[in-house]
Amino acid sequence: MISVSSRLQETKEYYFSKKLREVAQLKKQGKPIINLGIGSPDLAPPQDVTEELMKAMQAPGAYQYQAYKGIDELREAMCNFYQTHYKVDVNPDSQVLPLMGSKEGIALISMAFLNEGDEVLVPNPGYPTYQAATKLLNAKLISYDLMEENSWHPDVEALQNMDLSRVKLMWINYPNMPTGETADREKLQDLIRFAKANSILLVNDNPYSMVLTDEKFSIFQLKGAHDVCLELNSLSKSFNLAGFRVGFLMGNSEFILAVLKVKSNMDSGMFFPIQKAAAKALNLDLSWFARQNDIYKSRRALVWDICEALHLTVNKNAVGLFVWAKINSTLSAEELADELLYGKGIFVTPGTVFGDNGANYVRFSLCVSEDELEVCKHRILKPKAV
Ligand X SMILES: Cc1ncc(COP(=O)(O)O)c(C=O)c1O
C-beta closer to ligand X: residue 216 or 377: 216
Least Å from the CB of residue 337 to ligand X: 18
For the chain, strand residue ranges (E) read 34-35, 96-99, 119-124, 140-145, 167-172, 201-205, 229-234, 247-251, 312-314, 322-327, 346-347, 349-350, 361-365
C-beta closer to ligand X: residue 364 or 379: 364
C-beta closer to ligand X: residue 195 or 203: 203
> Residues 127, 194, 272, 324: which binds ligand X (CB under 6 A)?
127
If one asks whether residue 101 binds ligand X (CB under 6 A), the answer comes out as yes
Q: Which 213-272 positions form the footprint of ligand X (CB under 6 A)? A: 234, 236, 242, 247
DSSP codes of every residue in 171-195: EE-SS-TTT-PPP-HHHHHHHHHHH
Size of the site for ligand X (CB under 6 A): 13
Q: How far apart are CA 17 and CA 46, in angstroms?
A: 28
Stretch that binds ligand X, among 2-10, 19-27, 99-107, 111-119 (CB under 6 A): 99-107
For 305-381, strand residue ranges (E) read 312-314, 322-327, 346-347, 349-350, 361-365
Compute how many other C-beta atoms are within 10 angstroms of the C-beta atom of residue 141. Answer: 15
Inter-residue contact 247 to 108 (CB < 8 Å): no
Least Å from the CB of residue 232 to ligand X: 7
C-beta closer to ligand X: residue 256 or 380: 256
Least Å from the CB of residue 355 to ligand X: 13
C-beta closer to ligand X: residue 66 or 129: 129
Stretch that binds ligand X, among 97-105, 153-161, 291-299, 309-317 (CB under 6 A): 97-105
Least Å from the CB of residue 187 to ligand X: 18
Q: Which 160-199 positions form the footprint of ligand X (CB under 6 A)? A: 173, 177
Inter-residue contact 200 to 194 (CB < 8 Å): yes
Q: How far apart are CA 73 and CA 114, in angstroms?
A: 31
Least Å from the CB of residue 218 to ligand X: 15
C-beta closer to ligand X: residue 39 or 345: 39
- Give the containing element (helix H, strand E) for 291: helix 286-309
Residue whose C-alpha is closest to residue 222's, from 199, 209, 204: 204
C-beta closer to ligand X: residue 32 or 243: 243
Least Å from the CB of residue 77 to ligand X: 16
C-beta closer to ligand X: residue 101 or 358: 101
If one asks whether residue 39 binds ligand X (CB under 6 A), the answer comes out as yes
Q: How far apart are CA 205 and CA 366, in angstroms?
A: 20
Q: How far apart are CA 175 and CA 180, in angstroms?
A: 6
Residue whose C-alpha is closest to residue 126's, from 358, 363, 364: 358
> Residues 103, 280, 363, 379: which binds ligand X (CB under 6 A)?
103
Q: How far apart are CA 257 and CA 95, in angstroms?
A: 9
Least Å from the CB of residue 76 to ligand X: 20
Please report how many Cα atoms fall inside a 13 Å half-sphere around the Cα of residue 337, on the Cβ side. 25
Least Å from the CB of residue 181 to ligand X: 12
Q: Which residue is nearest to ligand X (CB)?
A: 101
C-beta closer to ligand X: residue 193 or 216: 216
Stretch that binds ligand X, among 19-27, 98-106, 153-161, 191-199 (CB under 6 A): 98-106
| Strand, coil or helix: 248 | strand
Least Å from the CB of residue 322 to ligand X: 9
Least Å from the CB of residue 197 to ligand X: 26
3-state helix, strand, coil in the chain (%, to 5): 45, 15, 40
C-beta closer to ligand X: residue 154 or 207: 207
Interface with ligand X by CB under 6 A: which residues?
A: 39, 101-103, 127, 173, 177, 205, 207, 234, 236, 242, 247
